[in-house]
Amino acid sequence: MCFQLLIWLKHGAGNTRVRFPHEPHFRNICVTVNADSSTKLYITRHISLFPLKHYLLTLMAVAAQVYRHPSLKNSVSLVVVKMLVVEDEDVGPQVSNNGGMALRNFCNWQQLFNPSSQRHLEHYDTAILFTRQDICGQRSCDTLGVADVGTMCDPKRSCSVIEDNGLQAAYTVTHELGHVLSMPHDDSNNCIRWFGHLDGPHMMASVFFSLNKTLPWSPCSARYVTEFFDNGYGDCLLDPPEQTLPLPVDAPGVSYNLDRQCQQAFGEEFSLCPDTPEDQTCSQLWCREEGQPHCTTRNGSLPWADGTLCWAGAGAVAGTNTTCQGGVCAAVTDQQKREVLYPVDGGWGVWGPWGSCSRSCGGGVEFSQRECTDPKPQNGGAYCAGQRAKYQTCHIQACQDEHGKSFRDEQCEKYNSDRYLDIHGNIKQWIPKYNGVSPRDRCKLFCRARDSNEFKVFEAKVVDGTTCGPDTTSICVQGQCVKAGCDQVIGSSVKLDKCGMCGGDGTTCRKITGSMNKAIFGYNDIVTIPAGATNIDIKQKSHRGIRHDGNYLALKTEVSYILNGNFSVSTAEQDIPVLGAVLRYSGSSTTLERVLSYQKLRQAVAVQLLSTAGDASTPRVKYSFFLPRDVPFTKPGAEGRASLHAILPLGGSEWALGEWSECSKSCGSGWSRRNVECRDGAGTLSFSCDEDLRPADIRPCGDLPCPVWQMGPWSACSRTCGVGVRHRSVLCIDYTGKMVELGKCNLAKRPEVVSSECSYQDC
C-alpha cells in the first residue's frame, strides 16, 4: 500500500508500518515529490511552508488529472505519498545544468529514502525532483525535464528531474513520467511506423506548446504503456493507495492569479503585462518586469492556468463566471457552477471478431479485442479493469518443409544480408541465440552470427506463436512466454514423451546407453547418434576433477565438425543448431562437460572424444538417448572394435539430481545442498552407479558481503536556542552502499545510538 509522509529535510526521518496485499486491477503510481534548495528558496522566500506544499501538490494534481483521461486506455492513478524539501544544499542531490548528470545524481540520492521492501510504509514507485536550475540537454538548454525510458519499478532508475518554471511544470511532470512508463515521443520512428504522423498536440510531443485536452494521449502512447503493463513491467503499481497526501481539487488558476503565475514563470519582479493582446486572453501569458517597458512570454507555450478569471486580462470578457479552460475563455453559468460532475467509470463493450493469424502453419496466434466504451469513462472515472484482449492458437497444422529449421531460425535468417558482413566481406549467417538469454527476454529475437560470439537483438518480440526456447513447447504471445502443450493449444498440459511423441506413453522407442573409458591421442569415435533420436545426454567427467584434463567432447555431421573440431576447443557454453534440434553444450571449462538436447534429431550426429593427453588422463564418457524402435542401431564395438574405442553397457542406472536448496546464508559464506541418488531405468534406488562419476551434492554460496552497521547523520538540535540534544542514528548498509532493513544486519553487534549536547545560539 502507499502511505503519506511529509518531511522538511535537514537530515531525514523514518517509519516502519507495513504495506498490504493489492487488488490486481488498477495501477497506482506512488510518488515522492522532492524540491531542492533552489526551489525551496525561490517559492518560499518570505512565505510559510504551506504555500510550497500546496504549489507542488497543485502541479501533481494537474498531472494526475491527465493520467486519468481515458485516451491512455489504462486505469492509472497518480498519488503523492511522500514529500521531501531540501533546506540545506549540502544534504540534497547535486544538481547542475547537465541534465544527464543531474538525473544520475538524483537517482542515486533518492535511493537513500526508499526502503527496498515494497511492503514497507515509505516505499515509493518513482521519485520526482523539482529544481530552479536551468537544465541543459545534449544540444541546448531548452530542456525542461529529464528521465530514463521504461524504468518504472526499477528503484535505482525510476526517477525524473523537472525544471520548475511555474504551473506549466505540471505538464513537464506528466511528460517525463510518460517516459518512465516507456512512452517515446510521438514523432519517434516506431510511432510513425505504427500510426503515421500523429495529428494534434499530445502529451508526448517532442516539443510542447499546448495540449489537446479532449485527447491528451496519442494512440502510440497508449500502445506503449499498455504493452509495458501487459509485459509485467508495471507490477509494482498494483498496490491500492492509502493515506496519501490529498491533492488540491480547484483548478490552478483559482489559487494562483496572473501576477503569481508571472512570478512563478519568470521571477518575483514580474507581474501581468497591462498591454496583453485581447486575442491572446487565456492562450498566452504576457509578463513585465518591474521598471522595464517591454513585456515577455514563452513562444506559444505559456497559456493562462485553467481556472483563471478571464477578465483579469486587458480587454477580456467581463464577468466573474468566465474562466480559462484549455487556453480558451469559457463562460460558466451559475447553474453549471452548482452542478456536481460525478465520475463515471468505464465499462467493457462486446468482444470483436478474431483477427488474422500470425502464421499460416505451425501454430500461430489470433486475437479478439474489446473497447472500454459501454460507457466511456467520464469526469475522471476509472478506465475499465480486466482483460482487454483474448487470444488463441490457429493454423496448428504442421508446415510442409524439409529443411528442419525452426520458426525462430527463419526469423534470424531474414537478417542475412549485406548489411552485416564479416571481416572477410562475407555475409554473416544469423542463427538463434538461447544460451545466456534471461528467461524474461526469451521472447525477444536474439540472433548469433554462426561460428562467432557476436549477437544482436533484432526484434523486441518474436512473431507470435514462436516457441520460447528449444526445450519447451510454450509459445511467445506479445513478447511473453505463455504455457502451451505440444498439441500447440494455449494452456494445454499435453507433453512430449521421451520418444518425442506428443501425448505418447513412451512405448514407441528404446533407450540407448553406452560409455567410453580409454582413448588415444587425437579424435576417438564414441557413437553416431541416428536421425530420429531424442533426449540426448552426453557427459564427460574430468580426470580427478581437473578442468581441462586433455579430454574434450567433439561433434560432427556428415559435412563438418560442429563442435571442437580441428583441435580447437570451446571453453564457453553455446547452442549448436542442427536439423530439427539445438544441442546445448556446457563448455569445456567445467569438470563435467556435457551436451544435452530434448528435441528430435533430423540428421545423424557423430560423437567423438578429442584426447590431447593420451594415457596420462583417463576419459570417463557416458551417453544416452532414445531411439524409435523401427530405427536400426548397432552399438559401436559389437563387432570387435579395438579396446581403445570399446563401448560398454551401463546397466541402466544413473545419478538422479534434486534441486539445489536455498543457501544456508543470505550473505557471507554459506552452503547449498541437493539430493544425489542412484536410480535405475524404472526410477527405483540402485547401487550400480559409478561412484567416480557421482555429482557433487554440496556447493558454496552466498559469497556477497553481509550488510554492516554505519552511523548516520546527526539529527537537528532539539532546541533552537540554549543547550539541546542531538542524536546520531544507526543505519544498516549493504555492500552497494544502500540503506537496507535493520534486521539484515547482525543485531547482536548493533552500535548504541550516539547522543551529544548541541547549542545554536543563546536564548
Residue numbering of the annotated binding site: 125, 175, 179, 185, 236, 239
What is the Cα–Cα distance from 279 to 82, expressed in whole angstroms?
42
Which residue ranges make up the annotated binding site for Ca(2+)?
125, 236, 239
Catalytic residue among 122, 176, 366, 593: 176
Catalytic (active site) residue 662: no
**Cell triple for residue 313?**
486580462
66 and 216 Cβ atoms separated by less than 8 Å: yes
Question: Distance between CA atoms of 452 and 337, rounded to whole angstroms?
Answer: 71
Going from the C-alpha of 348 to that of each of 166, 216, 372, the distances in angstroms are 39, 21, 4
Which residues lie below 8 Å from residue 197, measured CB to CB, with a gap of 6+? 187
How far apart are alpha carbons 396 and 467 in whole angstroms? 13
Element (H, E) at 99: helix 99-110
Taking CA atoms, 749 is separated from 391, 731, 735, in Å, by: 56, 12, 17
Of residues 558, 555, 506, 512, the one with CA closest to residue 536: 512
Please say whether the beta carbons of 258 and 272 come within 8 A. yes
Query: What's the CA dihedral at 406, 410, 412, 418 to 10 degrees?
Result: 150
Q: Which residue from 222, 231, 229, 189 is spatially nearest to 204, judged by alpha carbons?
A: 222
Cell of 674: 541437493
Residue type at position 587: G
- Which residues have a Cβ under 8 Å from the Cβ of 524 and sit 6 or more positions away? 516, 608, 609, 610, 611, 644, 645
Q: 190 phi and psi, to 5 degrees? A: -65, -40
Q: Are the C-beta atoms of 604 and 557 separated by less than 8 Å?
A: yes
Asked if 307 contacts 324 with a C-beta cutoff of 8 angstroms, the reply is: yes
> Quick one: DSSP state of residue 125?
S
127: number of Cβ within 10 Å: 25
Please name the residue ranges forming H helices in 144-238. 169-180, 189-195, 219-230
List active site positions. 176
